[in-house]
Amino acid sequence: MVEPFDLVIFGGTGDLAVRKLLPALYHRFIDGQIPDSSRIVGIAREGLDDDSYREQVRETLGKTSGADKAKIEAFLKQVRYRSLDARKDEGWDEFAALIGEQPEHIRVFYLSTSPELFVDICGRLGHYKLNEGKSRVVLEKPIGRDLDSANQINDAVGRVFDESQTFRIDHYLGKETVQNLLALRFGNALFEPLWNNAHIDHVQITVSETLGTGNRSSYYDRAGALRDMVQNHILQLLCMVAMEPPSSLAPDAVRDEKLKVLNSLKHIDSSNVAQLTVRGQYRAGVADGAKVPGYLDELGDTKSHTETFVAVKAEIANWRWAGVPFYLRTGKRLPDRVSEIVVAFKPVPHSIFSADAGTLAQNRLVLRLQPDEGVKLWLTIKHPGPGGLRLRHVPLDMSFAEAFGVSQPDAYERLLLDVVRGNPTLFMRRDEVEAAWRWAGPILAAWSASGEAPRPYSAGSWGPSAAIALIERDGRTWSEDSE
Ligand code: BG6
């Protein structure tokens, strides 16, 4: 159980609150981790009251795993609602009085709104002295849309909350497999000696989704895949793979190492953007067995150049990783929902086997984030039985669900309670966000300077053919996790 807290969700009726945050809190509640006196306060502009908000939450939770009527009702007793506009003072006195009722509680202000509102919300939280006591603020991504706007937001938040009170969330860091990467790399003597450019050929990070942009297209069209997924989630995964061993799991020990990786990323700009990146936009096609419209039709704007797919060949300029490409790709309306990291090792230096034994394939370590979280290590072995020495490439396969018999908690469950506990290890520090924008900004600028439209790809395909060419030019292929 954590200390009693009041958790306030700005954007309390929004997609993230409804789909992720409230179910995550409910799951922690049924596991007995949330003290009875804790309160969860939804804030939005809609004129709801506690009961009508609870009705919405009841409906959402009714569809979540572990839904149980009595437990949902018990949870709802802790839920409140206040209608507030971040840009007007009306209602803030009453809200401050509500929070003031339990001054000893930890206060968490979760800003799950558009980032344009972060400045106003924090300004008012400061004005009404809600930043006092044991208070923390959680900032949802995207933090700005470039370095300048991120700095403006961080400066404004920083005038009200210290860096130690500021939790910039990247929910990928709360995923089990990502944390398991820490355990795997630093809890086993086996991998670290091989974890460098002498032994690793390349790394692939894929986050593919079958869904389109759906009802988020007005947000998405201003963001695009590089801002929505790469600048944050995928770079964070890259950092976890590439960072030097931190001396401990202390928040700054880990974040210092991640920052060094971000600062070592090779610059991509107009001079090399065409060789190192591919951006795509989906057209009509078939996804999840159904015909789906193209991005422009969904958006109702035929001129948008927003990318729904991106592939990048990233490189890290330091001793450990020089010469090891990190191929990154992500997109909407791809054939499968898969997030995985593939570490491909170099081939053996010399083969002692005859040609009819079969080909020697690279060892690959595959960390699957979703679905079916687990780890696979592809090895070469002898096919059992007589008939000569025939080589086979097979995985040592550990599915977490099978191995531990438990389903994985959603990333937000872990992260929300880490905020309450005041542990920022799995959150981004301001300088990390800035370093990530310093790398992503010039790519965005180069795309926009080129004036070129993203390459079209059919919904249900693996993106534009140029993304395949991006890796094949180097004599490599995107992993299908089947060799
Ligand atoms: C969000 C992005 O941060 O992550 C979405 O804004 C994306 O566009 C989502 O769909 C993917 O998260 P997950 O946990 O489903 O892989």
Q: pLDDT tens digit string along 151-195?
A: 999 999 999 999 999 999 999 999 988 888 999 999 999 999 999
What percentage of the chain reaches a pLDDT higher than 90? 85
User: Quick check: is 404 in a domain?
Assistant: yes
One domain for residues 239 and 343: yes
DSSP string, 315-361: -B-STTTTT--EEEEEESS-SS-EEEEEEEEPPPSS--S-GGG-PPP
At residue 421, what are phi and psi to the nearest 5 degrees? Answer: -70, -15
- How many helices and strands in the chain, by DSSP H and E? 18, 17
pLDDT of residue 404: 75
One domain for residues 128 and 184: no
- Cα(361) to ligand 1 centroid in Å equals 33
Strand partners, 233: none
One domain for residues 358 and 400: yes
Band of residue 47 on the pLDDT scale cut at 50, 70, 90: very high
Q: Which one of 140, 159, 187 terminates a domain? A: 140
**Any ligand 1 atom below 6 A from CB of 228:** yes
Q: How many CA atoms, within 13 angstroms, populate the side-chain half-sphere of residue 327?
A: 24
One domain for residues 307 and 373: yes
One domain for residues 221 and 131: no
One domain for residues 261 and 395: yes
Q: Which of 233, 350, 383, 393 is catalytic?
A: 233
Please report, for the domain that includes residue 384, its CATH number: 3.30.360.10
Of ligand 1's listed atoms, the one at least distance from the Cα of 369 is 16
**Any ligand 1 atom below 6 A from CB of 339:** yes
- Cα(172) to ligand 1 centroid in Å equals 9
Helix (H) / strand (E) element for 107: namely strand 106-111
Between the alpha carbon of residue 425 and those of residues 90, 260, 375, 451, the distances in Å are 36, 16, 23, 40
What number is the average pLDDT over the span 350-377?
91
What number is the average pLDDT over the span 433-454?
97
User: Quick check: is 167 in a domain?
Assistant: no
Tokens 């991120």 correspond to 150
Of ligand 1's listed atoms, the one at least distance from the Cα of 370 is 16
Q: Which one of 140, 159, 193 terminates a domain? A: 140
Of ligand 1's listed atoms, the one at least distance from the Cα of 228 is 6
User: Quick check: is 165 in a domain?
Assistant: no
One domain for residues 122 and 252: no
Of ligand 1's listed atoms, the one at least distance from the Cα of 172 is 14
Q: Tokens representing 22?
A: 């409230």
Sequence-ordered alpha helix ranges (H) in 210-355: 217-223, 225, 235-242, 251-264, 273-276, 295-299
More confident residue, 400 or 37: 37
pLDDT of residue 481: 60
User: Quick check: is 479 in a domain?
Assistant: no
C-alpha of 78 from chain center: 29
Q: How far apart are CA 299 and CA 293, in angstroms?
A: 10
Are the CB atoms for 460 and 322 separated by under 8 Å?
no
pLDDT of residue 274: 97
List, for residues 112-126, the tens digit of each pLDDT value: 998 889 999 999 999
One domain for residues 289 and 180: yes
pLDDT of residue 483: 42
Please state which of the ranges 227-236, 385-394, 428-437 shows the lowest mean pLDDT. Answer: 385-394
More confident residue, 279 or 287: 279
**Any ligand 1 atom below 6 A from CB of 231:** no
One domain for residues 320 and 404: yes
Between the alpha carbon of residue 345 and those of residues 203, 217, 234, 324, 481, the distances in Å are 9, 39, 21, 10, 14
Amino acid identity, position 219: Y
Whether the predicted pLDDT of 482 surpasses 60: no
Cα dihedral 382→395→463→222 (10° resolution): -160
Mean pLDDT of the chain: 94
- Residue of 175, 208, 233, 235 to test ligand 1 pocket, by largest number of atoms within 8 Å of CB: 233
**Any ligand 1 atom below 6 A from CB of 221:** no
pLDDT of residue 65: 84
- Please confirm whether the linkage preceding 251 is cis (ω < 30° from 0): no
pTM of the model: 0.94
| Residue 233 bears catalytic tag | yes
* Other CB atoms within 10 Å distance of the CB of residue 171: 21
- Residue of 171, 235, 308 to test ligand 1 pocket, by largest number of atoms within 8 Å of CB: 171
What number is the average pLDDT over the span 284-289?
89
Please report, for the domain that includes residue 136, its CATH number: 3.40.50.720
One domain for residues 264 and 132: no
Q: How far apart are CA 429 and CA 187, in angstroms?
A: 25
Band of residue 387 on the pLDDT scale cut at 50, 70, 90: confident
Q: Which one of 99, 119, 140 terminates a domain? A: 140
Are the CB atoms for 53 and 12 separated by under 8 Å?
yes
What number is the average pLDDT over the span 55-61?
95
Residues with Cβ within 8 Å of residue 405, at least 6 apart in sequence: none
More confident residue, 206 or 401: 206
List, for residues 314-336, the tens digit of each pLDDT value: 999 999 999 999 999 999 999 99
User: Quick check: is 461 in a domain?
Assistant: yes
**Any ligand 1 atom below 6 A from CB of 217:** no
Q: How far apart are CA 137 and CA 164, in angstroms?
A: 10
Are the CB atoms for 7 and 420 separated by under 8 Å?
yes
Q: How far apart are CA 278 and CA 331, in angstroms?
A: 11
Band of residue 398 on the pLDDT scale cut at 50, 70, 90: confident
- Cα(29) to ligand 1 centroid in Å equals 24
pLDDT of residue 135: 96
Domain with 208 in it: 173-408+430-472
Please state which of the ranges 17-21, 72-76, 328-332, 367-371 shows the lowest mean pLDDT. Answer: 367-371
Q: How far apart are CA 377 and CA 186, in angstroms?
A: 17
One domain for residues 182 and 92: no
Tokens 């905020």 correspond to 419
Q: Are strands 326-331 and 309-314 parallel, antiparallel or unpaired?
A: antiparallel
pLDDT of residue 409: 83
One domain for residues 398 and 323: yes
Q: How far apart are CA 312 and CA 335, in angstroms?
A: 19
pLDDT of residue 480: 81
Which residue's CA is the nearest one to ligand 1's atom 6? 228
Q: Tokens representing 209?
A: 């989704």
Q: How far apart are CA 393 and CA 408, in angstroms?
A: 29
